[in-house]
A and B are shown apart, each in its own frame.
Chain A
Amino acid sequence: MEQCSNQVIVAKNVKKNYQQDSIVVEAVRGVNLTIEKGEFTAIVGPSGSGKTTLLNVLTGLDTPTEGEVWLNGRLLSEMSQRELCDFRRDNVGFVFQAYNLIPVLTVEENIEYVMMLQGVSKNERHRRVVDILKQMGLEGYHNRFPTQLSGGQQQRVAIARAMVTKPALILADEPTANLDSKTSRALLDIMRKLNEETNMTFVFSTHDPHVVDRARRVIILEDGVNVREETRN
C-alpha cells in the first residue's frame, strides 16, 4: 500500500475483540481514520466507547483482531515484539492518564531514559533535558523524584519524556483526567504551543469538553466506531 509521506497514522477497518469469560466484547468495531503530520486531534467519546483500546491498537501496544494499522509508513502487524519496541521508542511518545513515571528515577532520569535507549550521548541528553524542562516550566526540578511533585508537574514531566526524543507522534490518553481544570488548561496550552512550534503530531483521547475545545480536529467515537468528525481552527 502506498503511504502519503504526510500521513502519520492510517487505520483501515480496525476491529478489536476481547474475550471476557465466555463473552466476546467488541471494543473497536471497524475504525477507519487517517492522521496527518502536525495534527492536534482529540478522540472523544463516553467511557466504554473504545478510545483507549483504539489508542493501544494504533501504537502497537495491542494487536487488532482485524484490519491494518500503518504508523509512520510501517505496517505494525509485520513487526516482531522487539521491532515494535524499537519502533515505539523512535516514533511514539506516550502521555498516560496516571503519568506513569518510573518512581525510582529522578525527573531528569525519567526524561533521559528513552534517549539512553536510543544511544544519545550524555552531554546531548543533558542539554535536551535542560531545554525541555525550561519549556515545561520545571527548571530546578531535575533531581526530584516523581513522588515529590504535584499531579500537574508529574504530567508535565510525562509530556517532556514523550517529547524529548522528537517522535513523529505523541499519544495521550486522558492526559487531564487526574488534574484540576486550571492545571488541565495550562497543560493543554503547553501541548498546543509545542504542537504549533514543533509541528509534532498530537493525538489524545478525552471526554473533557474543555480539552475538546482546544483540539483542531475531533473524532467522535461511539460503541467502537468513529461516527463523525469535526475540524476547528
Chain B
Amino acid sequence: MMTLRLAFRNLLRQKRRTIFTGLSMLVGFVMGCFFIGWADGAYNHIIDSFTRQRLGHIQIHKQGYLGKPSLYKTIDNPERVGKILDTVGHIDSWAPRLFSAGLVSAGEKSAGVQVIGIDTEREERTTNISNKIVEGNYFDNRIRGVILGKDLARNLHAGVRDSVVILSQAADGSIANARYPVTGLIDTGDPGLNRSAFYLPLEYAQELFVLEGKVHEIAVNAANLNYIEKVAKELKSRLSGTGLHVADWKEFAHEFYVAMSADKGGMYVMLVIVVIIVAITVLNTILMSVLERQKEYGVLKAIGTRPGSLVRMVLIETALLAGACILLGSVIGYFMNLYFAEYGLKLANPIEWGGVQIKYMKGEVNFKSFYLPTITVLVTALLVCFFPALRAARTEPAKTMRTF
C-alpha cells in the first residue's frame, strides 16, 4: 500500500516529466488503437463487399463441387436445406443458384456465357443485385427474361428488349436451347463476369437444364462478418451426413483470403512503431527520474527497504502512468474509431478489389483495437523501465547519500 502511495505521489512530483512520458504512451496507444480499428474496418469492409455483394459469406454445395464443378453435382433438395437455414441464428439471407455454361447468340453474334440461375427475390435480398442493373430492369413478376453482363451485351450487339438464344447441354443429355428477351444489363463490378454473365430466373434455368427442383449452390450471408464462423460451424453440424459441403469465404475464395491476410500484416508495423515511441521516451524519462532519486533510494535501502521493493516501486510507478494513459487513450480511441466507423473517409479515386469497387474507407470499433495497444504499451513500458528499476535496486546507500 505504501509502495503504491509512494509510486503515485512520485508521479505527481515532476508533473512536466510525467505529462511528457504519459503523452508518449497516450500517443502510442491512440495511434495503435486507431490504426488497428482503421485497418480492420477497411479490410472488413472490402471483405464484406466482396463476399456479401456476390459470393455470400458461406456457400453450400454438393461434396466435391467446389474442387471440380459439374452440372450433375447438385443439391437435390434445396427446400429442406432452406428450412434448416431458416432456423439457424445470425443468418441475414440466403439464395439458391444454378450454374452452367452455354453459347449465346444474338443475330449473327455469339459468345460463350456463364449461365446463372437465380431465385429472383432471394438473390435480391442477399446481394442487392437490382442495384447493379445499369440498363433496363431487374426481374419482377411481369418481366421474365434474361439479364446480360453489360460487356457481353455490347459484344453481342444486343440491348434491352432484344432476344437472345442460348444453346447448351441439359442434365439428361438433351440439347438445351431457348430464346429469351433481354430485360436488363448488369455491371457486376467484375470485368470477367461482365463479359460472360447470363442471369435468368431459377425456374427457367432448372427447366432449361432439366434440373427441376435442384440447384448447385446456396449462398448464405451472416448478420455480419463476426458471425460467419459460428454460422458455418452450426451449418456443418446440421448438414452433416447429407452429402453437402459447407464452406466459408476463406475456403471458397482462398486466394482473396490469403491476399487480405498478407495485407493485414501491415498493421503489425504500426504496433512496432508504437513500441519504439513508447520504449524510447519511457526509457529516457524513467531513467532520468531514477537517477535523480538515487539518494532517496539510498535512504529507503538504508532504513530497510529490500531491493525487490524498489524494483516494484519503479514498476508500479510506470504501470500507474501507463494505466492512466491507456484509460484516457481508450476513450479517445473509441470516439475516433466510432467517428470513422460511422462516417468513414470518401476516397477521391475508388479502389477496386477483386471486382468490387471501394468508394469509402471505414474504421471499426472492435475489442482488438483496444487490447493489442494495451498489451503493447504496458508490456513495452514495463520491460523498458525494468532497467532503471534495477538501477534503483542496486543503489549503494553509502555512495548515494554521501552525507552519511
Give A residues with C-beta under 8 Å from B.
52, 55-56, 59, 61-62, 81-82, 85-86, 88-90, 94, 96-98, 100, 102-105, 109, 112-114, 116-118, 161, 173-174
Whether the Cβ atoms of A117 and B305 lie closer than 8 Å is yes
- 4 nearest A-B residue pairs (beta carbon): A89-B304, A104-B9, A62-B398, A56-B398
CB-defined interface of B201-215 with A at 8 Å, one 1/0 digit per residue? 000000000000000
Task: Tell me if B397 counts as interface (CB < 8 A to partner A).
Answer: yes
* Per-residue A-contact encoding for B364-404, CB less than 8 Å = 1, 0 else: 00000000000000000000000000000000111001011
A-B pairs with beta carbons under 8 A, tally: 78
> In the assembly, what is the distance between CA of A124 and CA of B302, in Å?
23
**What is the CB-to-nearest-CB distance from B401 to chain A, in angstroms, rounded to a whole number?**
7
> B109 contacts the other chain (Cβ, under 8 Å)?
no
21 contacts between A and B (CB under 8 A): A52-B404, A81-B307, A82-B306, A82-B307, A85-B301, A85-B306, A85-B307, A86-B304, A96-B404, A97-B403, A100-B295, A102-B299, A102-B300, A103-B13, A104-B13, A105-B6, A109-B2, A112-B2, A114-B304, A116-B1, A173-B404
Query: Does B48 have its Cβ within 8 Å of any Cβ on chain A?
Result: no
Q: Does B346 sit within 8 A of A, measured CB to CB?
A: no
Q: Is A116 in contact with B2, judged by CB distance below 8 angstroms?
A: yes
B5, CB-defined interface residue at 8 Å: yes
- Residues of chain B having any CB pair with chain A under 8 Å: 1-2, 5-6, 9-10, 12-13, 295-296, 299-309, 396-398, 401, 403-404
CB of B64, distance to nearest CB on chain A (Å): 70
Residues of B near A102 (CB, < 8 A) are: 6, 296, 299-300
Q: In the bound complex, do residue B398 and residue A61 qualify as a contact, i.e. CB atoms below 8 Å apart?
A: yes
- Contact in complex: B305, A94 (CB < 8 Å): no
Cβ–Cβ contact B295 & A109, under 8 A: no
Kindly report which residue of chain A lies nearest to residue B296, judged by CB atoms. Answer: A102
Residues of A within 8 A of B307 (CB): 81-82, 85
A contact residues around B6 at 8 Å (CB): 102, 104-105
User: Is there contact, CB below 8 Å, between B404 and A55?
Assistant: yes
Known: A105-B9, A173-B404. A113 touches B303 (CB 8 A): yes
CB distance from A169 to the nearest CB of B (A): 13
Contact status of A86 and B306, CB under 8 A, knowing A56-B398, A62-B398, A105-B9 = yes
Closest Cβ of chain A to B299, distance in Å, is: 4
B2 A85 Cβ-Cβ under 8 A: no
Q: CA of A114 to CA of B303 in the docked complex: distance in angstroms? A: 7
CB distance from B12 to the nearest CB of A (A): 8
A88–B9 CB distance below 8 A: no
A59 to chain B: which residues have CB within 8 Å?
Answer: 302
Q: Which residues of B contact A94 (CB under 8 A)?
A: 302-303, 404
Contacts of B305 on A, CB cut-off 8 Å?
A: 85, 89, 117
Query: Taking A89-B304, A94-B404 as contacts, is the C-beta distance between A104 and B10 under 8 angstroms?
Result: yes
Residue in chain B with minimal CB distance to A96: B404
Chain A residues positioned under 8 Å from B13 (CB to CB): 103-104
Q: Is there contact, CB below 8 Å, between A161 and B403?
A: no
Distance between Cα atoms of A52 and B305 in the complex (Å): 21
Contact A88 B404 (CB under 8 A): no
CA distance A23 to B301 in the complex (A): 29
Return the chain B residue nearest A102 by Cβ: B296
When distances are taken between beta carbons in the complex, the residues of chain B under 8 Å from A81 are 307
With a cutoff of 8 Å between Cβ atoms, the chain B residues found around residue A100 in the complex are 295-296, 299, 401, 403
A85 touches B304 (CB 8 A): yes
Known: A52-B403, A97-B403, A112-B2. 16 other contacts (CB 8 A): A62-B396, A62-B398, A81-B307, A88-B304, A89-B303, A90-B304, A94-B302, A98-B403, A100-B299, A102-B299, A103-B296, A105-B6, A109-B2, A113-B303, A118-B304, A173-B404
Contact of A61 among B302, B308, B403 (CB under 8 A): B302
Residues of B within 8 A of A114 (CB): 303-304
**Which residues of chain B have C-beta atoms less than 8 A from A62's C-beta?**
396, 398
B-chain residues with CB within 8 Å of residue A174 when the two chains form the complex: 403
